């Protein structure tokens, strides 16, 4: 490359950098998240410097979202794409990013963020062979880590770091918001822990393995799942096994997400006398779960109420 050509390349690069900074400076950073949980946390950290939207609604199963042209249009306008990772979005993420033709949000760029970075993951398969015969298994670990409030602090920190890299002039603003978010989590953790403290060690049946992080944090025990394998609908034979386990262990409750069929849980409940607790596992799953804090409020309150023998719905 001759000196003239090199100089022109440098000038073009500087102009591109200036244009990018100008766009961010004039308007809000456009953030697109895969779930409403990430959107809620991104709003807490980004404040009035970001415009945030989410692909998957809280009342939808995040494992089975399908790529749509409208999602690609949203991704086309995004400055930052935030995902849960651990292959939760494996069925649609690549299709949406490819369809958007937005190079700045591709994996490996500054505009793409995986918030699982730094999280202590649970339930990574120990076998070398992982295939579809095992159900919807995530080979890097269970992806429902956002349901542990202390992991929400890690998510928030990851977002603060990335927003500061994209908008360095607002770094102090983002980190002040992170401090406020962490303080609120710490205060709420005292409240949530106290409410569930009487039930530490309580055995609960679950529909899908959304709850290992939440149960581990609050001392609850999942004894069996209604799904025979992750993502596989309950079969009569498997439900008979579940009923046997629940009767043996005197399980009082079945915890399930809002988007699964209630009939298998109702059948098991009728056979065992257990209560079915239907809760959102994401922001927006019910009208009460308006943000991350009210999501955890809802889950904690409904579990505690059910175990106390109170009506939850």
Dmax over Cα atoms in the chain, in whole Å? 81
**Residue 148 DSSP code:** S
Q: Quick one: which of 244, 245, 239 has its CA closest to 223?
A: 245
Helix (H, G, I), strand (E, B) or coil at 178: helix
Q: What is the pLDDT of residue 133?
A: 60
CA atoms within a 13 Å half-sphere pointing along the CA-CB vector of 228: 12
Q: What is the pLDDT of residue 16?
A: 42
Q: What is the pLDDT of residue 175?
A: 98
The pLDDT profile of the chain, 313 residues, written as one tens digit per residue, is: 455 544 454 444 444 444 444 445 457 999 999 999 999 999 999 999 999 999 999 999 998 899 999 999 999 999 999 999 999 999 999 999 999 999 999 999 999 999 999 999 998 876 666 665 666 666 788 999 999 999 999 999 999 999 999 999 999 999 999 999 999 999 999 999 999 999 999 999 999 999 999 999 999 999 999 999 888 999 999 999 999 999 999 999 999 999 999 999 999 999 999 999 999 999 999 999 999 999 999 999 999 999 987 444 4
CA 239, distance to chain mean position in Å, is 28
Q: What is the pLDDT of residue 230?
A: 84
167 and 80 in contact (C-beta within 8 Å)? no
Query: Token pair for residue 281?
Result: 């596992």
CA 122, distance to chain mean position in Å, is 14
- In whole angstroms, give the CA distance from residue 91 to residue 72: 14
């Amino acid at each position: 490359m001759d000196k003239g050509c090199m100089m022109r390349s440098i000038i073009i690069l500087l102009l591109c950098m200036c244009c990018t900074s100008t766009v961010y400076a004039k308007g809000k950073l456009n953030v697109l998240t895969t779930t409403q949980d990430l959107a809620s946390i991104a709003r807490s950290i980004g404040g009035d410097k970001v415009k945030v939207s989410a692909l998957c609604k809280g009342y939808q199963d995040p494992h089975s979202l399908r790529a749509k042209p409208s999602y690609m249009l949203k991704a086309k306008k995004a400055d930052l794409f935030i995902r849960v990772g651990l292959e939760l979005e494996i069925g649609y993420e690549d299709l949406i990013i490819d369809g958007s033709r937005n190079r700045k949000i591709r994996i490996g760029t500054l505009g793409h963020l995986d918030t699982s970075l730094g999280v202590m993951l649970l339930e990574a398969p120990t076998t070398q062979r992982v295939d579809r015969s095992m159900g919807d298994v995530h080979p890097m670990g269970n992806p429902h880590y956002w349901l542990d409030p202390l992991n929400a602090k890690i998510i928030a920190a990851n977002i603060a770091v990335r927003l500061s890299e994209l908008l360095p002039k607002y770094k102090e603003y983002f980190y002040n918001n992170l401090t406020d978010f962490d303080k609120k989590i710490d205060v709420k953790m005292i409240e949530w822990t106290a409410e569930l403290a009487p039930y530490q060690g309580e055995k609960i049946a679950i529909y899908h393995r959304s709850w290992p992080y939440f149960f581990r944090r609050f001392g609850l025990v999942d004894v069996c799942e209604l799904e025979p394998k992750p993502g596989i609908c309950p079969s009569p034979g498997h439900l008979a096994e579940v009923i046997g386990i629940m009767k043996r262990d005197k399980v009082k409750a079945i915890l399930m997400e809002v988007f699964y069929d209630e009939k298998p849980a109702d059948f098991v409940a009728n056979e065992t006398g257990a209560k079915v607790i239907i809760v959102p596992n994401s922001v927006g799953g019910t009208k009460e779960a308006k943000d991350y804090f009210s999501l955890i409020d809802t889950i904690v309150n409904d579990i505690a109420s059910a175990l106390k023998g109170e009506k939850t719905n």
